[in-house]
Amino acid sequence: MEDRHIPPIILSFPLRRFFENPYKILTPFVRRGMTVVDHGCGPGFYTIPLSYLVGKEGIVYAVDSSAKSIKVLESKLKKKGINNVKTFVSRNLNFIPSASIDFLLSKDVLCCTVLHKELAREIERVLKPGGKALVTIRIGKRSDPRSLSAEEFFSLFTNIERKGLSRFHAWVILSGEKK
C-alpha cells in the first residue's frame, strides 16, 4: 500500500504556528552543530526551525517519500538562503549510516505508511549512543492498514525513554543505545 501524502499546502497552513510551536518542541533536544534528521519532513514546517537550531556547523537530513513535498521544501530553502539541509526523496532511511544521528524527528509519519516495523528499526539504528528521537503518530481509523493503535505504536520500539498519549496522538522519546 502507498504512503499517505498530505498536500504541502495543508502542512504549510500559516495558522498552524499558533497551535504548534516547532521551536518549543525542538529546543529541548537540539543544539548547535548537531546532525539531525527530519523524517517525513513534508514541506518543512520543522525542517527550517531545525536548520536554524543546528546552525551552520550542523546538518539536517530532510527525508520524505513525496517528491512534491521535497520540491516545495527545496524552493523554500533556496528563497531563505539555507544551505545546511540535505533533501532526500525516500521511503526508508537505509542511506543513513548507523549510530550517526544526534536527534531524529518523525512527526506523524508512521501513521502514513505500512512500513511500521521497518521504519521503527531504522529510526533506532541511526541514533548515536545517547542520541534522541521524538516520534509521534496520529491515532487513526482501524480500517486503514497504515494506522496504528497506541499499544501497537509503543510495541515497535526497544529503547523508549518516555511515552505519552492524548486523544488524537501518541508519542515516544527514544534514546540511542549506549554500547
Using CB under 6 A as the binding rule, whether residue 51 contacts ligand SAM is answered as no
Q: How far is CA 129 from CA 62, 76, 164, in A?
A: 21, 33, 23
Q: Looking at beta carbons only, is 91 or 125 nearer to ligand SAM? A: 91
Give the helix ranges, DSSP H, for 12-165: 16-19, 22-26, 47-54, 67-80, 116-126, 150-154
Q: Could you tell me the smallest distance in angstroms from the CB atom of residue 110 to ligand SAM? A: 8
Categorise residue 40: left if φ over 0, alpha if ψ from -120 to 50, beta otherwise.
left
Q: Could you tell me the smallest distance in angstroms from the CB atom of residue 96 to ligand SAM? A: 12
Using CB under 6 A as the binding rule, whether residue 66 contacts ligand SAM is answered as yes
Using CB under 6 A as the binding rule, whether residue 156 contacts ligand SAM is answered as no
Query: Could you tell me whether strands 101-107 and 35-39 are parallel, antiparallel, or unpaired per DSSP bridges?
Result: parallel
Binding segment for ligand SAM among 24-32, 75-83, 106-114, 149-157 (CB under 6 A)?
106-114
Find where cell 549506549 sits. Answer: 178
* Adjacency order of strands within the sheet including 127-138: 85-89, 59-64, 35-39, 101-107, 127-138, 169-175, 160-165
Binding ligand SAM by CB under 6 A: which of 52, 76, 91, 159? 91
**8 Å CB contact between 140 and 147:** yes
Q: Could you tell me the smallest distance in angstroms from the CB atom of residue 104 to ligand SAM? A: 12
Using CB under 6 A as the binding rule, whether residue 107 contacts ligand SAM is answered as yes
Using CB under 6 A as the binding rule, whether residue 122 contacts ligand SAM is answered as no
**Interface residues with ligand SAM (CB under 6 A)?**
3, 5-6, 11, 40-42, 45-46, 63-66, 69, 91, 107-109, 112-113, 115
